Amino acid sequence: MTTSLDHATLLQKDSHQLHGLHHPNAHKDPLIVERADGVWLYGTDGRKVLDGMAGLWNVNIGYGNQELPDVARDQMQKLAYTSNFVGMTNPPAIQLAEKLAGFAHPTLNTTYFTSGGSESNETAFKTVYYYWRRLGKPDKVKIISRMNAYHGITIAAASATGVTRYWKMFGLPIANFFHIPDPNSYRYAGDRREGESVAQAAARALEEAILQEGPETVGGFIAEPIQGAGGLVVPGDEYFDLVRAICDKYEVLLIADEVITGFGRTGEMFGQHHWDLRPDIMAFAKGVTSGYLPLGGIQISDAIRDVINSAAPEDSWMHGITYSGHAAACAVAIRNIEIIQEQKLVENAREMGKRLGAGLNRLKDEFAFVDNVRGKGLLWGMEIVKDRESKEGDMAKASAIAGAAMQRGLRTRPVGAGTLAFSPSLAITADEVDTIIELLGSAMDSIG
């Protein structure tokens, strides 16, 4: 049992934890969240903060839902957990996999459950290796990813991640991971031919990378439909059509990392729906349970499933995670998805997203250091720049604004080269969106 301790005591005892993305000096005055409701976090020191990030882009239905604890308790009383390896299964895992069949794309009908996004991407990479090995092409082990992508923190997932500060002190990326420029239309890092759109140039970069490495060695390409933690990059509309065609041409499996963009975040149920993208593998996590319990997974195409199902026993897909198909987590996910559907939260994300985007654009008109406001649904970013001419990102100012916003009761997050990110609960109200803009404006005013 946890006991009720006061703020000062908790703060002191917190030194026993190693926090993620850790430097102790950056952890001086943490918000110790005691409870939360809707978009609001309540700290043990009496602070009330509007969580403009919904945790880590994941609390899609909002905090404090009182149904999901009942679902978890009922399921735990019957069966919290049991092995889901071959030979055993459980009703919530069966029903969730069935609910997800064809949910994102008609060809994605088979799910393997994990505990989160990094594990999902690890599972995806191993499945790429497995697939090509089974088809007699064991050299197709290279994975192409994009600069500024974020795919997680385990060794292969962090190697696919294209943010160099996640590599530096770990000697990453490991072999066989390659990065091409992301389709950032504000600040494209690759070469661009005359008359070429950024989407076309970025897709060409994929084809050139495949040719340079040798198509017979490239197994997969991984992309977030909208890049999140690396700086909120929304691709041009042609991008994924071009990318899909290139992957087909060179027999490269396309992995859509929908860990942030899944389950309504972008104003469609999945980010891929904005462009009718057909992935071979889709990774998901976060919004599948809105963070009420940890869960993730991959969905594989029918073609990949058939290859796994037709293997000789000695060539089985020898992959398995203890908590795969966790009964309580799967039961919570089923109800969470029903809530997203019943409460029309995807539609609300679309509506409130327009309001949030309009508000952020008003701040761009007001402050010269704000540029390139972009987003879809309730996934938005704004650039904080030294000046609009050079487009040089100002991470120090973005962090200062985020700090000033937090003092005023708004949580946002600086990501990328100086992007402020916004990803509130999909259940946010118009008044709460206006509060984000008001508090952010006041924070910007105070920084000048």
Ligand X SMILES: Cc1ncc(COP(=O)(O)O)c(C=O)c1O
Q: Least distance (Å) from ligand X to the CB of residue 376?
A: 15
Q: Least distance (Å) from ligand X to the CB of residue 428?
A: 20
Amino acid residing at 361: N
**285 belongs to the binding site for ligand X (CB under 6 A):** yes
Pairing of strands 379-384, 419-422: antiparallel
Amino acid residing at 285: A
Q: Least distance (Å) from ligand X to the CB of residue 230?
A: 9
Of 121 and 301, nearer to ligand X (C-beta) is 121
Sign of CA dihedral 162, 164, 166, 168: positive
Residues 46-65 close enough to bind ligand X by CB under 6 A: 56
Q: Least distance (Å) from ligand X to the CB of residue 7?
A: 27
User: How many angstroms separate the CA atoms of 327 and 333, rounded?
Assistant: 10
**72 belongs to the binding site for ligand X (CB under 6 A):** no
Of 32 and 153, nearer to ligand X (C-beta) is 153
User: How many angstroms separate the CA atoms of 367 and 433, rounded?
Assistant: 19
User: How many angstroms separate the CA atoms of 401 and 384, rounded?
Assistant: 9
Question: Which position among 112, 130, 131, 150 is part of the footprint of ligand X (CB under 6 A)?
Answer: 150
Question: Which position among 140, 142, 151, 411 is part of the footprint of ligand X (CB under 6 A)?
Answer: 151
- Cβ pair 63, 290 in contact under 8 A: no
Q: Least distance (Å) from ligand X to the CB of residue 117?
A: 2
Pairing of strands 48-51, 40-43: antiparallel
Question: Which position among 207, 224, 280, 383 is part of the footprint of ligand X (CB under 6 A)?
Answer: 224
**328 belongs to the binding site for ligand X (CB under 6 A):** no
User: How many angstroms separate the CA atoms of 307 and 317, rounded?
Assistant: 10
Q: Least distance (Å) from ligand X to the CB of residue 429?
A: 25
Q: Least distance (Å) from ligand X to the CB of residue 161?
A: 8
User: By rule CB under 6 A, what count of residues binds ligand X?
Assistant: 15
Mark 104-123 with x for binding to ligand X (rule: CB under 6 A) and - for no binding: ------------xxx--x--
**Span of 2-10, 145-153, 170-178, 234-242 interacting with ligand X by CB under 6 A:** 145-153
- Strands in 370-376's sheet, in edge-to-edge order, are 370-376, 379-384, 419-422, 413-415
**356 belongs to the binding site for ligand X (CB under 6 A):** no
Among the listed residues 215, 202, 213, the one whose alpha carbon sits nearest the alpha carbon of residue 248: 215
Both structure tokens of 123: 């599972």
Phi first, then psi: what are they for 430, rounded to 5°?
A: -60, -40
Q: Least distance (Å) from ligand X to the CB of residue 224?
A: 5
Question: Which position among 52, 55, 92, 152 is part of the footprint of ligand X (CB under 6 A)?
Answer: 152
- Cβ pair 55, 291 in contact under 8 A: yes
**Span of 31-39, 150-158, 303-311, 337-345 interacting with ligand X by CB under 6 A:** 150-158
Q: How many residues does the chain have?
A: 448
User: How many angstroms separate the CA atoms of 370 and 384, rounded?
Assistant: 5
Residue 110 β-bridge partners: 300
User: How many angstroms separate the CA atoms of 34 and 53, rounded?
Assistant: 17
Q: Least distance (Å) from ligand X to the CB of residue 329?
A: 13
- Cβ pair 163, 148 in contact under 8 A: yes
Q: Least distance (Å) from ligand X to the CB of residue 438?
A: 28
**262 belongs to the binding site for ligand X (CB under 6 A):** no
Residue 37 β-bridge partners: 40
Angle between helices 91-100 and 327-342 (to 10 degrees): 40
User: How many angstroms separate the CA atoms of 144 and 218, rounded?
Assistant: 8
Nearest residue to ligand X, scored by beta-carbon proximity: 117
Mark 226-255 with x for binding to ligand X (rule: CB under 6 A) and - for no binding: --xx--------------------------
Pairing of strands 142-146, 177-180: parallel
**259 belongs to the binding site for ligand X (CB under 6 A):** yes
**Span of 75-83, 144-152, 326-334, 341-349 interacting with ligand X by CB under 6 A:** 144-152
Of 385 and 426, nearer to ligand X (C-beta) is 426
User: How many angstroms separate the CA atoms of 210 and 25, rounded?
Assistant: 43
**257 belongs to the binding site for ligand X (CB under 6 A):** yes
Q: 103: which residues sit within 8 A by CB, 6+ positions away?
A: 269
Hey, what's the torsion of the CAs at 238, 243, 246, 251, to 10 degrees?
-150
Q: Least distance (Å) from ligand X to the CB of residue 304?
A: 20
**Span of 78-86, 132-140, 224-232, 266-274 interacting with ligand X by CB under 6 A:** 224-232
Of 182 and 207, nearer to ligand X (C-beta) is 182
Q: Least distance (Å) from ligand X to the CB of residue 442?
A: 28
Question: Which position among 124, 226, 260, 360 is part of the footprint of ligand X (CB under 6 A)?
Answer: 260
Question: Which residues of the chain form contacts with ligand X (CB under 6 A)?
Answer: 56, 116-118, 121, 150-152, 224, 228-229, 257, 259-260, 285
